[in-house]
Amino acid sequence: MEFRFTDEQLMIRDTAQQFLAEVSTSEAIRAAMASEHGYDAQLWQQICQDLVWPALHIPEQYEGMGLGYVELVAMVEQMGRYLLCSPFFATVCLGVNSLLVAGTDAQKARWLPQLAAGKTATLAWCDGRAAARGGCWDASSISATATAEGDDFILEGEYRYVVDGASADVLILAARLAGSTGSQGVSLFVVPADTVGITRELLPALDQTRRQAALRLDKVRVSADALMAQPGQAATALQTILDLATVALAAEQMGGAQQCLDMAVAYTKERSQFGRSIASFQAIKHKAADMMLRAEVARSGVYYAACVAQEALEGGPLATELAEAASIAKSYCSDAYFKNAGECLQMHGGVGFTWEYDVHLHSKRAKASEHFLGTGAYHRERLAQHLLDQEAAE
């Protein structure tokens, strides 16, 4: 396993960094937050048509670029750093991954070229009751049902916390057979968002840079060709999809942790007290050093997880380590991002709380992303259970 960027990967990362520094400015972020869908549609089309970012790890046979998960993570890191308001995470890290993992050949041929060209997608699986219990990050949180009726399926139920669910063009829906629980009886369906019977409602959220929605299915009839994988046997595929998304989210958090460090250092160099820059004070240096340590450790965990994620997509020898690698990355990055955001706010002093500075945007994103797909505590418990299972197997 090579833990060094290739020239191509460096070019992808640097191009993303330069582009996002220009287009995802403080003013652009605030304008997107106030818009109807939470992002600039013109910028999204530029990202799709000119930069072809959504096509990055889509296979070439489906009009993609055929690159790997490390390249994707390198790009997503920069999106987290600059708080890009776009449906990229929902479309690529949830939608595209769902099709790559669980889609049939026909579904891939139909939907992947459309997503590469600019259509948006998302994944819905979590219901509100599971969220109220403190967790909705696996198949046990699915309450929507799928009932076979002839050659069709009737879908009924509710979902909450669906990323960009109010604006997505394509929905991947998780539903279970009536009477099933846990990982039993889970199926996945891919449907157009305007399918009759689907109602979508935008939810208020702490992080206004990433929209969430509630979905209601009222006797939604879908044909058998919407079914992904085998009926009632998609729980393992769903968990793989969520683990892939977790790695990408950890990359966003790592990028945000780095940006909090950069903002804090830049501000303390400009802020003077007692006749000198406060960046020269030892206490400030210690805080900055700790922030840098968190960002660097997070980077190591994320890029190892990205290598494992690529193996999982290819069916390589490290595929079985995906859940462990994803939890390691997410548990550390959740804590590192929120801690760095808090230190950045402290180093800004009183102005750190104000709307004029961007510190509060990262603080809100850090807290929201900490909870989405599982907190650090959730993933540490998951790791502990994984170790216990391994020990019992031996």
Both structure tokens of 33: 């937050």
Angle at 89 between CA 130 and CA 322, to 5 degrees: 70
The pLDDT, as a whole number, for residue 132 is: 52
The pLDDT, as a whole number, for residue 135 is: 59
- Domain 7-119: CATH superfamily is Acyl-CoA dehydrogenase/oxidase, N-terminal domain (1.10.540.10)
The pLDDT, as a whole number, for residue 130 is: 57
pTM value > 0.85: yes
Q: CA 39 to CA 36: how far, in whole Å? A: 8
The pLDDT, as a whole number, for residue 1 is: 56
The pLDDT, as a whole number, for residue 29 is: 96
Instruction: Indicate the CATH number of 235-393 among 3.40.50.1980, 3.30.365.10, 1.20.140.10, 1.20.58.110.
Output: 1.20.140.10
Q: What DSSP state is assigned to residue 233?
A: B
Question: Which portions of the chain are predicted below pLDDT 70?
Answer: 1-2, 128-136, 318-319
- Beta-bridged to residue 176, according to DSSP, are 145, 186
- Its CATH architecture, for the domain 123-228, is Beta Barrel (2.40)
pLDDT (tens digit per residue) in 8-42: 999 999 999 999 999 999 999 999 999 999 999 99
pLDDT (tens digit per residue) in 80-130: 999 999 999 999 999 999 999 999 999 999 999 999 999 999 999 988 665
The pLDDT, as a whole number, for residue 183 is: 87
Instruction: Spell out the domain ranges in the chain.
Output: 7-119, 123-228, 235-393
Both structure tokens of 305: 């997880």
The pLDDT, as a whole number, for residue 240 is: 95
The pLDDT, as a whole number, for residue 205 is: 87
pLDDT (tens digit per residue) in 144-174: 999 999 889 999 999 999 999 999 999 999 9
The pLDDT, as a whole number, for residue 180 is: 87
